[in-house]
Structure 1
Amino acid sequence: MVSATLIAARAAQHAQLIRRIHTGKRDLGLDDETYRLILARFAAGKTSSTDCSVAELQAVIEHFHDSGWPRPGGVWHKPLSPRQKKMWALWQTLADQGKVRNRRMAGLLGWIAGQTDNQVQRLEWLTSEQEHTLIESLKQWEAR
């Protein structure tokens, strides 16, 4: 039999993770639709954080960290621009299709460095033309 203390501790952990997810959503500048799509992808189709298990909530938080949201004590990166979000979404789609082995931000940045003449290491260093070219390249890669 599970003790009342253990049940209360699990409920408190669940509530804390939900608060962290909502903070991450705000900090990353996610609109409600994007947020719910992320939940659905990492929480077996669930679109409400209250319906998620602790493990699913932790997976969403890990995805937020991969997207630039800092870990506790980490360095904050500014939220992604719409074009950067598009690159990230396309990268995740390619990973879902098995065309990319490293679905993390480091994988995308490595690919970007290899695709740009000046070997850009950070998304915010891309020019508008480079962003456009990279998005189109990702779209073509996805179509293949």
Structure 2
Amino acid sequence: MQRANLIKLIHVARRKLALDDETYRSVLSGAVPGKKSCRDMKVGELEAVLKIMERKGFKREKSLRPSQPKAAPIVTDKIRVIWKIMYRQGFITDGSDKSLNGFVRRITRLKNGGEGVASLEWLRGDQASTVLESLKRWHMRCMREKLPAKGYGLSYERTCEQYRKHSY
């Protein structure tokens, strides 16, 4: 573990064990004679201090926050809804989640080093936005092909309205 992270963890342990300054300094000097500050210690010495604090009852907790922010449920819900609409409109032949995950994998493959994200639920925020916009563009192309005036220059929402009016 890096030195800065060890120091942070020792300070967390100090708070969790409710050590006052005098007791904390005695733990430090007990682990490493002659040193009463983490700032003066090397990585091995900091690890020794942490081991003592763990013996005194400190338990490391797993971080509750994910390492990468997940996509907002609103975005993934929109993706799923558009997918189902495209299925009902006959633009895709399989409206299942398995099929949707195949689309997600294909769209994310280039930005993810050749290996696409296998499930809609695993998308990060930026990836989910990319998938949503790709799906909307595909849906728009499908609707424009069916519209008599082709609907070029219209926004996604307006194209959807026009398509509903002509409901095929």
TM over 0.5: no
State the TM-score, normalizing by the size of structure 1: 0.41
Larger Rg: 2
Query: Normalising by the residue count of structure 2, what TM-score does the alignment of the two structures yield?
Result: 0.35
Query: More helix per residue: 1 or 2?
Result: 1
